[in-house]
Structure 1
Amino acid sequence: MSGSHTGRVAVITGAAGGLGREFSLALAARGCDIAIADIADATAVAADIEALGRRTFVQRCDLSDAAQIKLFVEGVLESFGRCDILVNNAAYMPVTPFAELTLEQFRRFEAINVEASFLLAKLLTPGMSERGYGRIVQIASSTTGTPMPGFLAYVTTKMAGIGLTRALAAEFGGDGILVNALSPGLTRTVESEKNLPTELFDSVRDLQLIKRTEEPADLVGALLFLTSEHCGFVTGQTINCDGGVRF
């Protein structure tokens, strides 16, 4: 599978840590140059990527701001000349009870979890279409099938991301651009451990067929397939990678 990524350019949002960091390093190890947009500082990840012999472009970017996204894409194209792989990984997910959720807060969920993916696709697919090759992966969530209190805005926007995936796949199937969603279960990261109670990890683990908590590395194999040349006839799909969770 490694040869199918060699020389590609991958754009990954939210890659300063967590899943995005794991995805960036895995793609770099297989020959991709990496561009990262994150509101957090991603210079440490960039250094790790460059230690693997790949080039990087990193820009701090509030993905709720369309102007910042456009500047990021301009930087990517100036640095690399193209994008072959887009991984819409960044997510906004503070746990907010519905009674406390304001329209302004809900719109921030929409902006980061859906609108940023739309705009990045809008800006990067013309080049993919021209070259006849592209891979877009939207990181979804198992919460779309098993919503919990406090996650209304997150679940709603993650479901919208799945709809965007299916619709983009229909738009670009004739152009060699394959668009799929990858749906993790509850994954242990620094952010998830900080924001979610320990008992939630325990209860989800007990409902999985695989009886351990999911780690970022567990998603890498699926991500590598969906972004590779070997994924030649899979599009418009949501791939569940959640340990077989059964509620």
Structure 2
Amino acid sequence: MANSHTGRVAVITGAAGALGKAFALALAKNGCDVAIADINDASSVVAEIQTLGQKAFSEICDLSDARAIAVFADNVLSRFERCDILINNAAFMPVIPFAELTLETFRKFEAINVEAAFLLAQHFTPGMQERKYGRILQIASSTTGSPMPGFTSYVTTKMAGIGLTRALAAEFGNDGILCNALSPGLTKTPESAKNLPPELFDAVRHQQLINTTEEPKDLVGAMLFLTSEACGFVTGQSINCDGGIQF
């Protein structure tokens, strides 16, 4: 599995920290060059990747802006000439009660959580088709199976991301491009630990068959498989990596 990443170019959104950073470093350790788009500065992640002997660059990119996405994609192709692996990891996920949700905010969820993935696929799949190889991984969410109050926009757009993944799998099934979604459970990151009560992590942990709180490192193995040559005949799937949570 590790060798199949050697010499590949991976593009990851939202990799300035937490889950995206864990993915970026794991791919670099397995031989990938990495490009990162994030609303936050990811230069420290780039520096870590470079210490691993791989090429990397990052760009501060507003993924709700189609023009910014186009500039980023052009810069990726200028630097690396291709994208072999696209991981749509960035997410907009404030908790907003339905009564307080505006159409403008709902559309921001759509833009970042769905439209950015669509636009990046438009930019990178032509090259994948030419080379008859590509991996597109959409980071979904276990909340699609168990929605909670305040998550209307997030759950809706994460479900749309799964739909996009399955549609792309149908479009590119004969082109060597495999498209899958990976759904984490409640994952403890600095941001989630700051925004969510500790008792929620405890409650979710007790609902899992694996009785430990999920962390970014727990998703790396599944990501590496779904972006590797070993994935071979798996496409159009939504795979849960949530400790076997029982709703």
TM-score by length of 1: 0.99
Q: For 1:199 and 1:99, how far apart are their aligned partners in 2? A: 25
2:135 equivalent to 1:135: yes
Aligned residue for 1:157? 157
Q: For 1:2 and 1:155, how far apart are their aligned partners in 2? A: 33
Aligned residue for 2:178? 178
Q: For 2:32 and 2:94, how far apart are their aligned partners in 1? A: 32
Equivalent residues in 2 for 1:79-118 (5 A)?
A: 79-118=79-118
Amino acid at match of 1:48: E
Aligned residue for 2:34? 34
Deviation digits for residues 193-228 of structure 1, max 9, x if unmatched?
111111111111111111110000000000000000
Q: For 1:114 and 1:15, how far apart are their aligned partners in 2? A: 17
2:13 equivalent to 1:13: yes
2:4 equivalent to 1:4: yes
Size of the alignment, in residue pairs? Answer: 247
Check whether the contact 1:94–1:195 (CA below 8 A) recurs between aligned residues: no
Aligned residue for 1:46? 46
Check whether the contact 1:162–1:181 (CA below 8 A) recurs between aligned residues: yes
* SS of match in other structure, 1:174: coil
Aligned residue for 1:121? 121
Amino acid at match of 1:17: G
Listed as ranges, the gaps of 5+ residues in structure 1 are none
Amino acid at match of 1:73: A
Aligned residue for 1:24? 24
Q: For 1:203 and 1:83, how far apart are their aligned partners in 2? A: 40
Q: For 1:195 and 1:41, how far apart are their aligned partners in 2? A: 21
TM-score by length of 2: 0.99
Aligned residue for 1:191? 191
| Pairwise CA RMSD | 0.5
Aligned residue for 2:78? 78
* SS of match in other structure, 2:229: coil
Check whether the contact 1:133–1:177 (CA below 8 A) recurs between aligned residues: yes
Moved over 4 A (4+): none
Deviation digits for residues 164-186 of structure 1, max 9, x if unmatched?
00000000001000000000000
Cα drift, residue 191 of structure 1: 1.0
Deviation digits for residues 31-64 of structure 1, max 9, x if unmatched?
0000000000100100000000000121000000
Q: For 1:199 and 1:163, how far apart are their aligned partners in 2? A: 32
* SS of match in other structure, 2:78: helix
Q: For 1:129 and 1:92, how far apart are their aligned partners in 2? A: 30
Q: For 2:200 and 2:109, how far apart are their aligned partners in 1? A: 22
Q: For 1:122 and 1:159, how far apart are their aligned partners in 2? A: 20
Listed as ranges, the gaps of 5+ residues in structure 2 are none
Percent identity of equivalent pairs: 74
Q: For 1:112 and 1:128, how far apart are their aligned partners in 2? A: 23
Q: For 2:197 and 2:96, how far apart are their aligned partners in 1? A: 14
Aligned residue for 2:201? 201
